[in-house]
């Protein structure tokens, strides 16, 4: 039994996807049963909410309520059962993204977000959060090279610097849970940083 809950975080364009796939492969090779999931999303209901969340305009509180509704379904149906069965859960974004994007990015009241977090998660947090940190400007040029933008990715550099500051604040408040990854480095160097974090935990 080696239940582990690992989240990946960072501003859009930080380069999480490559390393999520790589870490999943590393765990599978070592015989772990893996659940690879994401937020917003991870269940049929939460994926339906994700579509609305990413593509319809709404105010900050509506965004937060939708994302936490999806998160509740995801926790109840997928994450908690997997952890109870001793599995490893890798989640592309979790609640730190809500504090960073809706809280710091959009100015949503952090106390309200904290209350929702408490109701929805009942104390559940990732065991480890890999925070991919890099300047907003570098992330923007990576995004421009990679794909068409959704409505969050269309925001300006100031927005993404606020989101980045939000992640920094969450990391400072939970230093044991967070590992900051310098995402400005090359793919190989980022992979080496992640391996070092895993080895330090005996994973
Ligand atoms: P992302 O993982 O970047 O999806 P993709 O790789 O397909 O672009 O997540 C989608 C967007 O949702 C991203 O811009 C961040 C945003 N988001 C929030 O604003 N709040 C949240 O709580 C979460 C989980 C994501």
Rounded CA gap, 4 and 8, in Å? Answer: 13
Q: Which residues line ligand 1 (CB under 6 A)?
A: 12, 39-40, 67, 92-93, 97-98, 101-102, 150, 152-153
Two structure tokens written together for 154: 């269309």
CB 74 within 8 A of CB 83: no
Question: How many angstroms separate the CA atoms of 72 and 162, rounded?
Answer: 26
Mutate to test the pocket of ligand 1, among 19, 97, 146 (most ligand atoms within 8 A of CB): 97
What distance in angstroms lies between residue 30's CA and the mean position of ligand 1's atoms?
29
Nearest by Cα to 10 from 183, 195, 169: 183
Rounded to the nearest integer, the mean pLDDT of the chain is 95
Q: Please say whether the beta carbons of 194 and 15 come within 8 A.
A: no
- For 10, the enclosing helix (H) or strand (E) is strand 4-10
Does pLDDT of 87 surpass 90? Answer: yes
The listed CATH number (2.60.40.10, 3.40.50.300, 3.90.380.10, 3.40.50.170) that belongs to domain 4-200: 3.40.50.300
Could you give the percent of the chain with pLDDT greater than 90? 90
Segment 136-163 shows an average pLDDT of 87
pLDDT at res. 144: 86
**pLDDT average, residue stretch 109-121:** 98
Q: What is the pLDDT of residues 31-52, one digit of tens each?
A: 999 999 999 999 999 999 999 9
Q: What is the pLDDT of residue 1?
A: 54
Residue 115 has pLDDT above 90, yes or no: yes
Can you tell me the mean pLDDT for 146-158? 79
Instruction: Check residue 146 and give its pLDDT.
Output: 80
Domain boundaries, the chain: 4-200
């Amino acid at each position: 039994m080696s239940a582990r809950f690992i989240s990946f975080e960072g501003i859009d364009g930080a380069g999480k996807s490559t390393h999520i796939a790589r870490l999943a492969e590393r765990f599978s090779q070592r015989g772990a049963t893996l659940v690879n999931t994401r937020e917003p999303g991870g269940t049929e209901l939460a994926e339906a909410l994700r579509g609305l969340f990413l593509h319809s305009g709404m105010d900050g509180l509506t965004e937060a309520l939708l994302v936490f509704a999806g998160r509740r379904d995801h926790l109840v149906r997928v994450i908690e059962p997997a952890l109870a069965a001793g599995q490893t859960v890798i989640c592309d974004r979790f609640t730190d993204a809500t504090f960073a994007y809706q809280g710091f990015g959009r100015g949503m009241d952090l106390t309200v977000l904290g209350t929702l977090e408490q109701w929805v998660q009942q104390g559940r947090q990732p065991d480890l959060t890999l925070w991919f940190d890099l300047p907003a400007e570098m992330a923007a040029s990576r995004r421009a090279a990679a794909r068409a933008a959704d409505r969050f990715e269309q925001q300006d550099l100031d927005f993404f610097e606020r989101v980045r500051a939000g992640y920094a604040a969450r990391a400072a408040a939970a230093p044991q849970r967070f590992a900051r990854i310098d995402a400005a480095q090359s793919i190989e160097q980022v992979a080496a940083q992640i391996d070092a974090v895993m080895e330090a935990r005996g994973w």
